[in-house]
Amino acid sequence: MVIAIERINFRHLPVPVRAAVEARTGPILTATTAEAGINSGIAATLTTSTGRVFLKGAPLDHPQIRAQQRERAVAA
């Protein structure tokens, strides 16, 4: 069962979260929110000074967080 989560724009993430992302990616030039999908609180393609990356995540207290954590482990 998938529990939908409200998606937010990258620029609406808390400043410490955006800073943590930029610490890994470098400066973010643009952020485009993904239209598809329903179980990620944030899903965006980020254009950085060194290329593009896809950012995906959910609040730690969301019921779907285990699925996000499994996906991270598989992708690692």
pLDDT tens for 5-45 read 677 889 999 999 999 999 999 999 999 988 776 667 788 99
Whole-model pTM: value is 0.74
| Joined tokens for residue 8 | 């937010």
pLDDT digits (tens, 9 = 90+) for 49-76: 999 999 888 777 777 777 777 777 887 7
Task: Give the domain ranges of the chain.
Answer: 10-75
DSSP characters over 26-75 = --EEEEEE--S-SS-SEEEEEEETTEEEEEEE--TTSTTHHHHHHHHHHH
Strands across the sheet containing 42-48: 28-33, 42-48, 51-57
